[in-house]
C-alpha cells in the first residue's frame, strides 16, 4: 500500500517499512506518531486509488520515531566586493528520522 502524507509543509510518498527524515516532530525516540494528513492512498500495483480533497477522512499512517537529530552544517556567506564586507553564518536543520509501520 502506498500513501502520500503531509508533514512539516512537505509531502512524502511512503509505503510500509520505509525510513525517512522529516522536519522535526515533538516526539521522543522510540515513540509512535500518527499522521492524519493523508492526501492519497493506493495499492502497490496502482489500482484502487483514493484521492482526498485535500485530505482523506479516516485515513492515518502510524510511524515509529527512530532518531532526533540535526543535519550536516551548511555555511551561508554574504559578501560585497570592493567594500571589504563579508559575513558567514552556519545552520544545522533539525530533523526526525521515522519508520513507517502501518498504513490504514
pLDDT band at 47 (very low <50, low <70, confident <90, very high): confident
Residue 71 CA: distances (Å) to CA of 22, 51, 68, 101: 11, 33, 10, 24
Q: Tell whether omega for the bond before 14 is within 30 degrees of 0, i.e. cis.
A: no
Average pLDDT along the chain: 95
Characterise 36 by phi-psi region: left (phi > 0), alpha (psi -120 to 50), beta (else): alpha
Whether residue 64 has pLDDT greater than 90: yes
User: Which of helix, strand or coil describes residue 26?
Assistant: coil
DSSP designation for 85:
E
Is the predicted pLDDT of residue 46 greater than 90, yes or no?
Answer: no
Is pLDDT of 98 > 90?
yes
Mean pLDDT computed over 54-72: 96
Q: Which pTM value belongs to this model?
A: 0.85
The domain ranges of the chain are 2-103
The mean pLDDT value for 81-101 works out to 97
CA dist., res. 18 & res. 50, Å (int): 20
Amino acid at each position: 500500500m502506498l500513501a502520500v502524507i503531509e508533514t512539516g509543509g512537505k509531502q512524502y510518498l511512503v509505503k510500509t517499512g520505509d525510513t525517512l527524515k522529516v522536519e522535526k516532530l515533538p516526539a521522543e525516540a522510540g515513540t509512535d506518531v500518527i499522521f492524519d494528513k493523508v492526501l492519497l492512498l493506493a495499492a502497490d500495483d496502482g489500482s484502487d486509488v483514493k484521492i482526498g480533497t485535500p485530505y482523506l477522512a479516516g485515513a492515518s499512517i502510524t510511524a515509529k520515531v527512530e532518531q532526533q537529530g540535526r543535519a550536516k552544517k551548511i555555511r551561508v556567506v554574504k559578501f560585497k566586493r570592493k567594500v571589504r564586507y563579508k559575513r558567514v553564518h552556519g545552520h544545522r536543520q533539525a530533523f526526525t528520522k521515522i519508520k513507517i509501520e502501518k498504513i490504514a
